[in-house]
Amino acid sequence: KISPDVKLATIRLYKQGILHLREILECVGFSRHTFFHIQKLYECTGNVVKPRSAFTGHPRNLNLEDMAQYMPDELCFIDETSVDEHTSFWRYGHAKKSRCASMRALSIDGVIAGHVIEGSLCWKGYLHLLEHSFPQCEAYLSKHSVLVMDNTRIHHGAEICELAERFGKCHCCV
């Protein structure tokens, strides 16, 4: 990753004609293509750092460094996937029929809970999986006590914390 300060200094050196582009690129160590990409971004936005995408989800609550503080048996990963009989025949990026969604809670011991439904997964299906996962979990900092999930919209909400409290798992980081 190139520092924004280096990018900006490179553009200024080039615009002021202090050094030839070849000499500048030798000093900073990036390609001609990268330079012109940075210059175009600067001319369009006034900044050398690409703006954050509007499609980016919520900021992460738990990073890899944060997860390192837990023992492997404390972690439980929840994820969902969708499949259908006609995936190889897709023409428009979606399935027309026979779609199934599957969710699983995985730990170091294997699958501790699973849920398969016909159609797409929705909020109620997600809560249903959590209802089946929480009894397998123990109090915070015990076996299966930290649920790790991706950052989709259905993974956020007060109902998740309420469900955790109902099962006595009241430490919630949403």
Asked if residue 138 has pLDDT above 50, the reply is yes
Asked if residue 25 has pLDDT above 90, the reply is yes
Cα distances (Å, whole numbers) of residue 118 to 33, 40, 97, 143: 48, 47, 10, 31
| Among the four given CATH numbers 3.40.50.1370, 3.50.50.60, 3.20.20.210, 3.30.420.10, the one describing domain 64-85+97-166 | 3.30.420.10
Asked if residue 174 has pLDDT above 50, the reply is no
* Percentage above 90 pLDDT, the chain: 22
Chain segment 47-63, per-residue pLDDT in tens:
998 877 766 666 666 67
Tokens of 105: 């809670």
Radius of gyration of the chain (CA): 24
What are the residue ranges spanned by the domains of the chain? 4-45, 64-85+97-166
What is the pLDDT averaged over residues 142-169? 74
pLDDT, residue 95, reads: 47
21-30, 67-76, 82-91: lowest mean pLDDT where? 82-91
Tokens of 42: 């600067």
Cα distances (Å, whole numbers) of residue 174 to 52, 53, 102, 161, 171: 22, 22, 22, 8, 10
Query: Greatest CA separation found in the chain?
Result: 68
Helix (H) / strand (E) containing 105: strand 99-107
Check residues 87 and 18 and name the one with the higher pLDDT.
18
pLDDT, residue 41, reads: 92
